[in-house]
Amino acid sequence: MKSKFTAIVSIVATLALSNCGAPPGPNTQRGAATGALGGALIGGVVGAQSGRTLEGAAIGAAGGAAVGGAYGNARDQEQYNRY
């Protein structure tokens, strides 16, 4: 069970941190980092309620990085289109 969880977290982290297109702007990077930290914090707290703090933090970090990166990318695109 633990090795399966480690494999899933490794795959999610690799996909979340990979560069799939043009170089991301500063808002994308900042959003992903901030989202990952916030998601890990919230996921850790929620996971602690069920006795799975580490798993909750990992899932929260992956989700937070994805959402934060998407938001930051939208801001970068908005700025790019404006100029």
Question: What does the pLDDT profile of the chain (83 residues) look like in tens digits?
Answer: 566 666 666 666 665 655 455 555 688 888 888 888 888 888 888 888 888 888 888 999 999 999 998 998 888 888 888 77
pLDDT of residue 3: 64
| CB neighbour burial string for 20-45, b if at least 16 within 10 angstroms, e if fewer | eeeebbebbbbbbebbbebbbebbbe
pLDDT of residue 78: 85
DSSP 21: S
Domain boundaries, the chain: 2-18+26-82
Here the tokens at position 78 are 């908005």
Closest CA to 78 of 15, 70, 13, 46: 70
Q: Number of helices (H) and strands (E), helices first, in the chain?
A: 3, 0
